[in-house]
Amino acid sequence: MKILLATSEVVPLAKTGGLADVCGALPVALQQEGHQPTVIMPAYRQALESGLPIEQLDLRFDVPIGGKTVSGEVYRTELADGIPVILVGQSSYFDRNQLYREDGEDYPDNCERFVFFSRAVMELIRLLELKPDIVHCNDWQTGLIPAYLKLEYANTSGYENIASLMTVHNLAYQGVFWHWDMALTGLDWSHFNYHEMEFYGQLNLLKTGLVFADWLTTVSPRYAQEIQTPEHGCGLEGVLQERANVLTGIVNGVDYKKWSPEHDPHLAQSYDVHNWVDSKPVNKLALQRELQLPECARTPLIGVIGRLASQKGWDLLAPVMRHWAHREDVQWAILGTGEPEYHSLVSDLAGSHPERVAVRLEFSERMAHRIEAGADMFVMPSRYEPCGLNQLYSLRYGTVPIVHATGGLADTICDATPATFRYGVANGFSFAPYEEPRLDQALRRASTMYHQPQMGWNKLVENGMKQDWSWRQSARQYIELYETIRRTKGDAC
C-alpha cells in the first residue's frame, strides 16, 4: 500500500510534542512491513535548518485561500531508510520562530496557515503523482484534508479511490477559530452547521476531520472510549459517539533503538532483563551522585519526567510529595517544566529536603534517559493521558510505573495484584479514582513491595522488561486498519 502521512511536525525536522515522534517513527515501521509511506509537512524554518539534506524541487503551485491565490514551493528530504518527506513551502506562513505560537500566544493566522497546508497536500497528490491508497491525517492541522477529499475532489480523476484516516493525538487541541475563517477554507457555508464544521458558533478543524474522514483512530483503546464521554470529550463526545463504529484505539509504539538500556549511550552501565539485578543499581548510584542525593542503594528512588501541570497529575502529586518528603525514606528525581506554582513547590522541597528531592527545571534528553535507568519507580498520575510514552520507556528500563488508570496508562500498565501475578501480567501499580489518597496508597504498595522483594518485585520488573511495545506491533495494527478502510471504501463505491 501507498500511505501518505499528513502532519504538522515530524522528528527530526520539527517538534513540539509526541505527534512528531509518532510521525517520525510510524512510517519507518510501515516501510519495514513492506509498504510505501510518504510524509508531508510544512517547510518550517526549523525543518529547513534541521541539518538534514534538503532539496528544493523545480515545482511551484497555487491554491485559493479565501478570495486570494497563494503560491507555494516544494522541498524534499528523507527519513531513515530513504522514506521520502515532502515539505510544503510558503515563507510568510512557515518562516517563523516557532511552529504554532510565540510569547505565549497562538499565531493569529493559524487557521489560514493550515488551510494553505491542507490545500497544498491535495494539490501535491496530483502534481507529484503520489497516488496514495490512504491519506493518514494527524490532529487539527490536517482536519480539512478529509473534507476536501469528500467535498471537492471526490469526482476528480486520481482521487476517487483515496481513503482518509484521521488520528486524534490529544482531543484537547482542536483548532477552533472564529466563524468568519470559514471563508478561508473555500468550502460552501452550508457545511458550517453543527453536524459538520461548526462548534458553538466557531469553526472547528478537528471536528471537520472527525466528521468527514473515512475512519478515526486515537492513541489507545481506553482513550477511544473516554473521549466519547462528557468528562473527556472536550465538547466533541456527541460527534465521536455518532462515529463510534469507525473509531479505533491503537497504542503508540516505542523506538527501541533510542529507548533501550542494552545500548543506551547516556547510561553509566548498559543492562538487559538478564543482568539488571547487578547492573541497574550502578545507574541508580550514578544518578544519585549526579543529582547530589545520598548514594543509598536501598532507598527507593522515584522518577518524574514531563510537564509540571495539573493535567499531568501534579494537583495530586504535589501534596503527596510534600508529605513524603517530610516523613518517608524515599528519594525523588524530577525533570521538566510547567506551571509556576509547581516550579515553586518542587524548588522549595529540594531546598528544604536536599537529601530526598532533586529537581531539574528543564528538559534534557540525556537526563531523561538517566532517570529512566536509575530510578526504581516512575510515577505518572495524569488526570488524563491519551497514550503516554514514559510508562513504556520505564517498563523497558525495569523502572516500575505507578499510574492513574486512564487512557493509554490503563491500557499498558497492569496493576500488581495476586491475580495478575498469578497470570504473569502484572507490570506496575495503578490507582483509580483520581484522588490523592489513592495515589498515596499506590506509592505505599510499591514501596512496601520494593522493601520486601520476596513479594515479587523482581518478577514485576522482569514482566515489564520482557514486553514488546515496539512500533512494529503498532504498525501492524495500522496496516490491518488501512486494509479495512480500503475494503470499506471500495464497498461504499
How far apart, in whole angstroms, are the C-alpha atoms of residue 471 and residue 25?
7
Q: How confident is the model at residue 492 (pLDDT cuts 50, 70, 90)?
A: low
Q: What stretches of 21-146 adopt beta strand conformation (E)?
A: 36-42, 55-65, 68-78, 84-89, 101-102, 105-106, 134-138
Answer yes or no: pTM beyond 0.95: no
Pick the closest to residue 406 from 383, 440, 429 (CA basis): 383
Domains 2-253+472-492 and 276-467 share a fold: yes
**Mean pLDDT along residues 208-226:** 98
- Report the pLDDT value the prediction gives residue 452, as an integer from 0 to 100: 87
Cell triple for 269:
552501565
- Report CA dihedral (5, 8, 11, 14) to the nearest 10 degrees: 150
Task: Find out whether 135 and 4 touch, Cβ atoms under 8 Å.
Answer: yes
Res. 192: pLDDT tops 90: yes
454 vs 46 pLDDT, higher one: 46
User: What tens digit of pLDDT does each residue of 282-299 get?
Assistant: 999 999 999 999 999 999
pLDDT for 363? 86
Per-residue pLDDT tens over the stretch 116-154: 999 999 999 999 999 999 999 999 999 999 999 999 998
How many residues comprise the chain? Answer: 493
The residue extents of the domains of the chain are 2-253+472-492, 276-467
Where is 400: in which H helix or E strand? strand 400-404
Q: For domain 2-253+472-492, which architecture applies?
A: 3-Layer(aba) Sandwich (3.40)
The pLDDT of residue 283: 98
In 3-state terms, what secondary structure has residue 176? strand
Predicted pLDDT at 245 = 97
Q: Between vectors from CA 223 to CA 222 and to CA 225, what angle results, nearest 5°?
A: 70
The whole-number average pLDDT for the span 37-59 is 96
Average pLDDT, the chain: 96
148-183 pLDDT, tens per residue?
999 999 889 999 999 999 999 999 999 999 999 999
CATH of domain 276-467: 3.40.50.2000
What are 295-312's pLDDT values in tens digits?
Answer: 999 999 999 999 999 999
How much helix, strand and coil, in percent to the nearest 5, is found in the chain? 45, 20, 35
Residue 491, pLDDT score? 67
Determine the Cα angle at 270 with ends 267 and 273, to 5°.
130
First to last CA, the chain: 19
pLDDT band at 59 (very low <50, low <70, confident <90, very high): very high
**pLDDT confidence bin for 493, thresholds 50/70/90:** low
Angle at 471 between CA 407 and CA 147, to 5 degrees: 70
